[in-house]
Structures are given as structure tokens and as C-alpha cells.
A and B are shown apart, each in its own frame.
Chain A
Amino acid sequence: MTAYLQIDHVDKSFKRGSTTSEVLKDITLTIARGEFVSIIGHSGCGKSTLLNIVAGLLPVTSGAVLLEGKEVNEPGPDRAVVFQNHSLLPWLTVYDNVRMGVDKVFSRTKSRAERDAWTLHNLDLVQMTHAKDKRPSEISGGMKQRVGIARALAMEPKVLLLDEPFGALDALTRAHLQDSVMSLQQKLGNTVLMITHDVDEAVLLSDRIVMMTNGPSARIGELLDVPLPRPRKRLEMATNATYLKCRQRVLEFLYERHHFVEAA
């Protein structure tokens, strides 16, 4: 397996006054090009911290993140993030939210007309062209997240980072959006790193699942390959033996060996 994104012996600790709390301990993970990797763990285990480190929004305490062999330590559009709460700018229309990223990333390489077409193309990918002139407050939560995905995809990132992208959505919308993300990834071949706490979501979408132990000093507890052929159909999975076995493994890890302990 050739390394595309490499998380190399990353430690992260936060200092508050004189106390230092270690959040992540010796995280090493290699992701291949085009791979869909999920990170799963109980809340508070530091999985979002890990994603923010990869995004460059947080500095590492030691270790490094390498993308195509080069160290990355500041945020950039090559690692576009889909935030949990969509983070669309409420004063811009759906189109302008996506266009802002397009303008910034392709200011030199694309003409104005090309940037307009590229924005519309990405809105079309997530089926949001019909609402392009609406403001975020005028569309539903699921639609906002679609626009968030379009904004990230439009930057043509090397790695797409999804930070619990479906966490704030209702179950039906979530399933619908998972299917969309799955087919988009299939079509575009993006490398994806997704944070989640939903076992079914992780198994359904991922090629590999990274299971994290509980913090403080969270480590990678286990890696699980999901050898299911694509395209995967949600309904068929319910009776698929491999799917059920993978699901069982993750559940065992989360609820037996690393049972969630409420922080005191």
C-alpha cells in the first residue's frame, strides 16, 4: 500500500495553566489514495482533535502529518473539511458559499466563467442547484450539509475530511446523505477521512475502520478492514454476513473492551 496521507507518531496534549492533559498518544496511521477511512470512538476520545490536526487547525505536540510525503502543519484547501454543523456563512447564498471557496482556490487557474460553471457543477453533484439562490437559513439541515459537502468537493481536495458530518441530522436524512456521499466517493475517487460515532455508518461507508481507545491519552486500539465490494446497497447489507461480522467487531470493541466511562 502506498502512503498518501500519513499520520506519523502524533502526540497531542493541551496545556491549561500548570496542568497538561494528554489527549492523543502515539497515533500512527497510513491512508492510501482513494481510500475511505473512518475513525470511530466514544465521545471525548480525541477523534475530533485528530481530524483538526490533519486539517491543520490544531498544531501537533510531537510527530507529524504528511500528505504526499510533505509535512502539512497549517490549514489549506487541499484538506477540505465538512464541519459537523455545516458552518455555512449565513449572509451568503448557497451559490456564494460554494463560489467563495472556488474563487479562492482557482483564482489563477480558472476563468470567471469556468469558476461559475465549476460551482454549479458541484452544486449539481449534491443535487442542490434548485436552491442556489437561497440563504442557509431558508434550507433544511440536510440541505445545508449537502452544500457543505459541495463547498469542500469544489476545492478539489487531496483529502476530504468529514467531521461527524451526519451527526446533527435525523435518521432518514442521514441515511439519504450517506448514500449520496458513498456514490460521490465512488464516482470521484476521493480520499476520505471521516470521524463518526455511528457503527453502521462506519461499516457501510468505509474501506477501513480505525477504532480509538478512550481518552485521556487515546491510542488507536484496532484497525478493521471492511472487505465489502462496492457499490454497497444499504438494504442488502442488513443480511450480508461480512457486514454483520464487521459490525459485530466494532460493537465488541466499543462496548466490551473499551466500555465508555463517564468522565468524573
Chain B
Amino acid sequence: MTMPALKAETTLPLPASVATVHNLTVRRAPAMERFLAEGTAMAGRLLPPVIVISGLLLLWELLCGHAGSSLPPPSQVISDTWELIVDPFYDRGGLDKGLFWHMSASLQRVGLGYAMAALAGVALGTLVGQSTWAMRGLDPIFQVLRTVPPLAWLPLSLAAFRQGHPAAIFVIFITAIWPIIINTAVGIRNIPQDYRNVAAVLRLNHLEFFWKIMVPSAAPYIFTGLRIGIGLSWLAIVAAEMLIGGVGIGFFIWDAWNSSHMSEIILALFYVGITGFILDRIVAGVAHLVTRGTSAS
């Protein structure tokens, strides 16, 4: 029984000496050292993607570099499409436009269809989340319709609108709306009873309840739906534009395929990927701004 007590006594002075040594090193640490530490941390984040991407490009160059390869290597992609890369704004009339115009046409369709889906989706989701009757009535329809692939809507949409442009917008709308509805409904249904009690004690009316309790409380869920929605919209637009034609990145890819311009397809895919990534980041950024403080209770 006495042993541990003795041990404890002998170890007592040790931490004190450690502490003084530590103090000295802290005092000596200059700005230079901190700068170095931050530099290493940044290199640690940047190096892995740089190495992996260069490795993959090298592998691609090696695999497709020989004569008679069915796909062009990265060096050839860049030399083939140099004109498109440096001048995205040219417009020679008709469908012969720079990539900027194609992307901008696609983005406009997505913007319109997605905006309508966001409005209608949040409204319908609120209805389904608030009313058990509406939920029971509409949920089976939603569950079946949301599994229909986006392109399956296109023929019907073309028949209804008789024009490519609104038909494509409708396809975006119908693709993006389901995750928005479903996530909004879950968010509304998950509003804690506590918040409803607070609203009841304060006698908030329906409009105040909607703006002051429902929207902020369900915002994280709504934004999850909106993020899935923007991703799906961007997926659907390329496929829809391949079929309806006209200006747009989907048509650009289809046109390049018909003219056997493989390099142009690869460049377009790169643009599509980057744009999809940026769209996702934008929605995530808005979500971060709006829901600040909501997730942590």
C-alpha cells in the first residue's frame, strides 16, 4: 500500500522540469517556424492530388500514345482542341459556337428547371410534411414517379410542349424535384416538439410559424435535397440535350461523336465535370451560410 504513494512522490518533480523546458522552446519559436509548419501542412494537402493526377495522366499517355489507338492521349487532346480552349467565345452562327455558349445554354436550362423544382419541391414537401392526409395521398405517387429515369420523361414532355427547349427544362424539373420534396418533408416532420411548443406558447400564427420555426428548423434537410437535386439536374441535362439538339453542351458532345472528334468529347467531359462540381459547391456554400448554427443544438 505504501509503494504507490512513494512512487507518486518521486515522480512529482518531473512534470515541473518538463514544464520549464517546454516554456523555453515556446519562447524560442519564431514566426519562421510557424510559417514552415503551415507550409508543410499545405504541401501535405496539395501533394497527394497533384501526384495522383500526374500519375493518371502519364498512364493515359502511355496506354493511348501508340499509333492506331482508338482514343487520343492527353497531349493530342490538348493540341486538337487548342482552338476551343483559347477561344470559348467565338460564334460563327448556327450551332458552330464556342464552348462558353454551349455551357451557358445548358446552365440556363438547368437554372430555370432547377429553380422551378426548388420552389415546387419545397412547397410540396412542406405540404406532405405537415399534413398526414396529404402524405398518405401523395407519398405512393412520389415513391413510384421518383424511380422513373429522367430520359423516360422526354418523349412525353416533347409531345406535351412540342418544342425541344421547354421539354428539356421540364425534364430537369421532374428530375430535381423528388429529392427536394422528400427531404423537405422529412425535415418538416422532424421539427422537434419542443419548437412546436415554443411556437404554441408564443401563439405564433401560421405564417410566423412557417418563417420563424419551420424554415430554419428544416433548412439542413431542405438543403440536402437541393444539393442532390442540382447534381441530378446536371446529370440529366447532358442526356436530354443529346436528344433534343440545339445549342448546349449535351448536343456539343453528340455532335463531336457524330464527327468522330474524340478530343472534343474529352474536353467537353472535363468542362461538364468541373461545372457540376462548381454547382454543387455553390449550393453547399449557400447551405452553409443559411444553416449556420442550426445543425448544432
Question: Which of A's residues lie within 8 Å of B, judged by CB?
Answer: 55-57, 74-77, 79-81, 83, 85, 87, 89-91, 100-101, 104-105, 135-137, 155
Point out the residues of chain A lying under 8 angstroms from B213, CB to CB.
89
Q: Do residues B216 and A91 form an inter-chain contact, with CB atoms below 8 A? A: yes
Point out the residues of chain B lying under 8 angstroms from A91, CB to CB.
216-217, 219, 291-294
- Which of B201, B204, B216, B296 makes the CB contact (< 8 A) with A81? B201
17 contacts between A and B (CB under 8 A): A55-B201, A57-B197, A57-B200, A75-B200, A75-B201, A76-B203, A81-B201, A83-B194, A87-B195, A89-B212, A89-B217, A90-B293, A91-B292, A100-B212, A104-B203, A136-B297, A137-B293
Q: In the complex, how many angstroms separate the beta carbon of A72 from the nearest chain B beta carbon?
A: 12
The answer to whether B198 has its CB under 8 Å from any CB of chain A is yes
Interface string of B204-235 (1 = CB under 8 A from A): 10001000110011010000000000000000
What secondary structure prevails in chain B residues at the interface with A? helix
- Beyond the given pairs A75-B197, A79-B201, A87-B194, 12 more chain A to chain B contacts, judged by CB atoms under 8 angstroms and listed by A's residue number, are A55-B201, A56-B200, A57-B197, A76-B201, A77-B201, A83-B194, A87-B198, A89-B195, A90-B296, A91-B219, A104-B208, A137-B297
The answer to whether B6 has its CB under 8 Å from any CB of chain A is no
When A and B form their complex, which 10 residue pairs have the shortest distance between CB atoms, in order from nearest? A87-B194, A137-B296, A75-B200, A91-B216, A90-B297, A135-B293, A91-B294, A104-B202, A75-B201, A87-B198
Task: Please measure, in the bound complex, the distance between the C-alpha atom of A76 and the C-alpha atom of B294, giving whole angstroms.
Answer: 26
Q: In the complex, how many angstroms separate the beta carbon of A12 from the nearest chain B beta carbon?
A: 17
Interface residues on B, range: 20 to 34
Question: Which of B's residues lie within 8 Å of A, judged by CB?
Answer: 194-195, 197-198, 200-204, 208, 212-213, 216-217, 219, 291-294, 296-297
Task: Please measure, in the bound complex, the distance between the C-alpha atom of A189 and the C-alpha atom of B208, giving whole angstroms.
Answer: 32
Tell whether A80 pairs with B293 under 8 Å between CB atoms, given A85-B194, A87-B195, A89-B195.
no
Task: Please measure, in the bound complex, the distance between the C-alpha atom of A89 and the C-alpha atom of B211, giving whole angstroms.
Answer: 13
Task: Please measure, in the bound complex, the distance between the C-alpha atom of A231 and the C-alpha atom of B256, giving whole angstroms.
Answer: 87
- Nearest opposing residue in chain A for B205, CB measure: A104
Q: Do residues A87 and B293 form an inter-chain contact, with CB atoms below 8 A? A: no
Task: Please measure, in the bound complex, the distance between the C-alpha atom of A101 and the C-alpha atom of B198, giving whole angstroms.
Answer: 9
Point out the residues of chain B lying under 8 angstroms from A79, CB to CB.
201
Point out the residues of chain B lying under 8 angstroms from A77, CB to CB.
201-203
Task: Please measure, in the bound complex, the distance between the C-alpha atom of A56 and the C-alpha atom of B208, giving whole angstroms.
Answer: 20
Task: Please measure, in the bound complex, the distance between the C-alpha atom of A79 and the C-alpha atom of B202, giving whole angstroms.
Answer: 10
Q: In the complex, how many angstroms separate the beta carbon of A62 from the nearest chain B beta carbon?
A: 22
Task: Please measure, in the bound complex, the distance between the C-alpha atom of A91 and the C-alpha atom of B195, giving whole angstroms.
Answer: 12
Point out the residues of chain B lying under 8 angstroms from A55, CB to CB.
197, 201
Point out the residues of chain A lying under 8 angstroms from B297, CB to CB.
90, 136-137
Q: In the complex, how many angstroms separate the beta carbon of B133 from the nearest chain A beta carbon?
A: 19
Tell whether A75 pairs with B203 under 8 Å between CB atoms, given A83-B197, A90-B293.
yes
Among B195, B203, B219, find the residue whose CB has the most chain A CB atoms closer than 10 A.
B203
Point out the residues of chain A lying under 8 angstroms from B201, CB to CB.
55, 57, 75-77, 79-81
Q: In the complex, how many angstroms separate the beta carbon of A4 from the nearest chain B beta carbon?
A: 19
Point out the residues of chain B lying under 8 angstroms from A83, CB to CB.
194, 197-198
Q: In the complex, how many angstroms separate the beta carbon of A259 from the nearest chain B beta carbon?
A: 31
Q: In the complex, how many angstroms separate the beta carbon of A150 from the nearest chain B beta carbon?
A: 14
Task: Please measure, in the bound complex, the distance between the C-alpha atom of A83 and the C-alpha atom of B194, giving whole angstroms.
Answer: 8
Point out the residues of chain B lying under 8 angstroms from A89, CB to CB.
195, 198, 212-213, 216-217
Q: In the complex, how many angstroms separate the beta carbon of B200 from the nearest chain A beta carbon?
A: 4
